[in-house]
Amino acid sequence: MKNEPTRTRPTENILMGVALMLGFCFTAPMLDVAAKLASDSIPVGQITTARFVVQCVLMAPFIWIMKLSLHVPREYWGALVLRAALLFFATFCFIAAIRVMPLADALAIVFVEPFIVLLVGKFYLGEDVGPRRVGAAVVGFVGVLFVIQPSFAVFGAVALFPLGTAVAFAFYILVTRGLSHKIHPVTLQFYTGLIASLICLPVMIFGQGSGSELFDPVWPTELVWVWLLGVGVFATISHMMMTYALSLAPSATLAPMQYLELPVATVFGYMVFGDFPNALSQIGIGIIISTGLYMIHRERVTAKQLVSERAAPPI
């Protein structure tokens, strides 16, 4: 009698997934550092454009090397364009924020995104979400207010830009859920870069000569070319790391690790720019991390209960 194939992931795959997620947490803040350095002399729209153009160029050879098909069924194109537009908006808002805000403060506000996904899932998609997780989401929003309040006092309305990133990225995650099992990750990344580039480039063309600090492109100096290239390279590498990590290890294992990105961004922000969150922001960051980890804990408890109920013999 043959042994039944195991349904669990091999330990080495899980360890590789964990290693890739750690790589994401250290690489993603490098994207933010490069964008903030470039923003001293380059408009936000131009940095955003560079991020997607470089991603598209980097992913194209992998399409050929891996012999992947570029064909996408017609019914998926609407979601594909929406995904790229949401990521473009999220990226633009975040770069506009970190141009003046400390990295850690802006990123902490963006971490309200899992709470938005949860609430949209409950009240719009009709997903089963218990009162404890809804309560944790509300507390998480309070933590975000702790970070926004001092930032708003210092930087004005720009402190609200990371909220735009969080909302757009929450819907980006929801759209990605529907596409992730239908389109190969590399093909998905390539088309995201291509479509977002096609959105960005006309905006930059019409913005030329307008005098806008956000959209009027300028010719970069030698070192700024490095920062612009770094934005695209680190964005592509970090997102591919996260994509493949999720394919190798359970999301319940990897999700808590994503909060490591916050202390890493804090360290990078202090080392490169001398920025450090004030006391009120530190309290808010602590609340956001704590409630986020609690939500992940509740997800695990709920998943275990479902497994136990399904495994229980009928009465």
Task: Say what the pLDDT of residue 309 is.
Answer: 53
Task: Give residue-wise pLDDT tens across range 125-165.
Answer: 666 667 777 787 778 778 877 887 767 777 777 888 998 99
Please tell me which residue, 58 or 305, carries the higher pLDDT value. Answer: 58
pLDDT at position 207 over 80: yes
Rounded to whole angstroms, the Cα distance separating 136 from 41 reads 40
The pLDDT of residue 311 is above 60: no
Q: Quote the percentage of the chain above a pLDDT of 70.
A: 85
In this predicted structure, the answer to whether residue 9 has a pLDDT above a threshold of 60 is no
pLDDT confidence tier of residue 4, bands split at 50, 70 and 90: very low
Element (H, E) at 282: helix 279-311
**Band of residue 313 on the pLDDT scale cut at 50, 70, 90:** low
What pLDDT does 306 receive?
Answer: 54
Q: What is the pLDDT, as a whole number, of residue 185?
A: 82
Look at residue 270 and give its three-state secondary structure: helix
**Mean pLDDT of all residues belonging to the chain:** 82
Query: Minimal CA–CA distance to 107: which of 153, 37, 159?
Result: 159
Residues in the chain: 315
Q: Model confidence at 17, in pLDDT bands (50, 70, 90)?
A: confident
Distances from the Cα of 253 to the Cα of 88, 116, 174, 250, angstroms: 29, 21, 20, 5
**pLDDT tens per residue across span 59-112:** 999 898 988 888 888 999 999 999 999 999 999 999 999 998 888 888 888 888
Residue 2 has what pLDDT? Answer: 45
